[in-house]
Amino acid sequence: MLVETARFWQDLGFYSEIKGGKFCIRGVTGPDEYTTVVDNNTYTNMMARENLTYAAVTVNCMKKEEPEKYWELVHNTKLKELEVDEWLAAASAMYLPYDTKKGIHPQDDTFLTLQKWDFTHTPPDKYPLLLHYHPLVIYRHQVVKQADVVLAMFLLGDEFSLEQKKRNFDFYDPITTGDSSLSVGIQSILAAEVGYIDKAAKYAAFSMLMDISDLGGNVKDGCHIAAMGATWMNLVYGFAGMRDSWASYPFTPMPRKVSNRSNSVCGYGVEYWKSL
């Protein structure tokens, strides 16, 4: 599986002269469904780099420590040693968009050039946007349906400093609509990490109450399984602050008191969403 997925990324990307010889991946869609078919989506490129690196490390480890299994792999996949070197080269040269002026990672090559969505004049009954606006209207704007760069900062947290996480979160959180139940759980975890305790509690409550309180008005069509999973993640990764980085599993718990209004995350969430 690692061999074939690494081959996929190697074939999909290319070394771009205009990007200084960096390895680029064009024409993809990242987690954000409101921004499609873009070049160098930060999340996608980071995950491709992780895949390429891990595949190469695993194959080289097999060759050294499990030679019989390695040669079986070579036979079954027609793997050549040159391929492994190519994966490492592509991973090392992977292009990641970065805006030095804002100090953030743009979601893709052109995201910062898009027109900003007019949230001020978008009434509540026009959400979720995908039910009220043509996709081509949404695609032309700087608006996010669900965590994209924020998701990358959670899954590959060691690749970002705390300052970078905060700057990226501050930029993307206000333009993320919450139109997807997949998003708030991840936003809650990152909010907790960068110190936005009340916001972390609000997002966690939204994820937890998605089906219990039918916040989306569509529980009759089925449960939001991802939101349920995010509730567990909020507790373990968000409030308990666990991170998994290779063989290390550190914990950095959030402060117990999440708001002056309530010490209970659940109680705070119910009160908050009733006020909307």
Query: What residue numbers bound the domain in which 189 lies?
Result: 181-276
Pick the last residue of a domain from 41, 76, 92: 92
Residues with catalytic annotation? 33
Tell me what pLDDT residue 256 has: 56
Do residues 55 and 3 lie in contact, with contact meaning Cβ atoms separated by under 8 Å?
A: yes
Pick the last residue of a domain from 50, 69, 92: 92
Helix, strand, coil % in the chain, rounded to nearest 5: 55, 10, 40
- Considering its fold, how many domains does the chain have in total? 2
Q: Which residues contact 60 (CB under 8 A, 6 or more apart)?
A: 84
Question: Is 127 a member of any domain?
Answer: no
Going from the first residue of the chain to its last (276 residues), give the mean pLDDT of each consecutive group of 10, the final group possibly shorter. 97 97 98 97 98 97 96 97 97 98 97 97 94 97 97 95 97 94 92 93 86 77 84 90 81 65 37 40
- SS3 call for 121: coil
Question: Is 114 a member of any domain?
Answer: no
- Measured CA to CA, the distance from residue 163 to residue 161 in angstroms comes to 5
Question: Is 149 a member of any domain?
Answer: no
Question: Is 238 a member of any domain?
Answer: yes
Question: Is 142 a member of any domain?
Answer: no
List pLDDT tens digits, range 18-41.
999 999 999 999 999 999 999 999
Question: Is 150 a member of any domain?
Answer: no
Pick the last residue of a domain from 92, 118, 140: 92
